[in-house]
Amino acid sequence: MATAKAPAKNRGRPAKAQSAAAATATTTKKRGRPAKAKPAAAAKPAKAGRPGRPPKAGKPVKSVKATKASAKVEKAAAPVDAVAKLKETLAAKSEKDLAKAVEKYTAAWQKKRSAADAKKIKAAEKKAAAKAKAAAKKAKKKK
């Protein structure tokens, strides 16, 4: 008979001690123990030409998040363009291949058909010759 496990407190494990700041900063996951919060990073100063100097006055400073977001949008748009271009090239190639295949099939079909027609013509000529010969023989007998 299976029994459910008791919580960690009741199994003899001491609970982890947390400071008040760490307790408020932690977030809970769906399952398991709470995730450790990353320490709040201080706002990074804008990159300057040399350390200790302020950035150039003429250029606006973009935040790192804004730069990454715009890069993600550009990267997402690039594969869509590549996929559309690939679809067009494959469609054009398939049309060319289909035209070649139809042409090849048509040539082979016409060759077989003309051979079959020639065979039928030859058989009909032979049959007509045999009938003419039989008619001539019959006419000769009557005389």
Look at residue 1 in the predicted model and tell me its pLDDT.
Answer: 55
Look at residue 116 in the predicted model and tell me its pLDDT.
Answer: 97
pLDDT in tens, 55-97: 666 655 556 666 776 766 666 667 778 888 999 999 999 999 9
Q: What percent of the chain has pLDDT over 90?
A: 37
d(Cα 80, Cα 86) in Å, to the nearest integer? 10
Cβ count near 98 (within 10 Å)? 10
The answer to whether the CB of 37 falls within 8 A of the CB of 27 is yes
Q: Which residue has the higher pLDDT, 124 or 6?
A: 124
d(Cα 76, Cα 99) in Å, to the nearest integer? 36
pLDDT in tens, 13-27: 666 665 555 555 555
pTM of the model: 0.36
Using DSSP's 3-state secondary structure scheme, residue 122 falls into helix
Look at residue 126 in the predicted model and tell me its pLDDT.
Answer: 97
* Helices and strands of the chain, counted as H and E runs: 2, 0
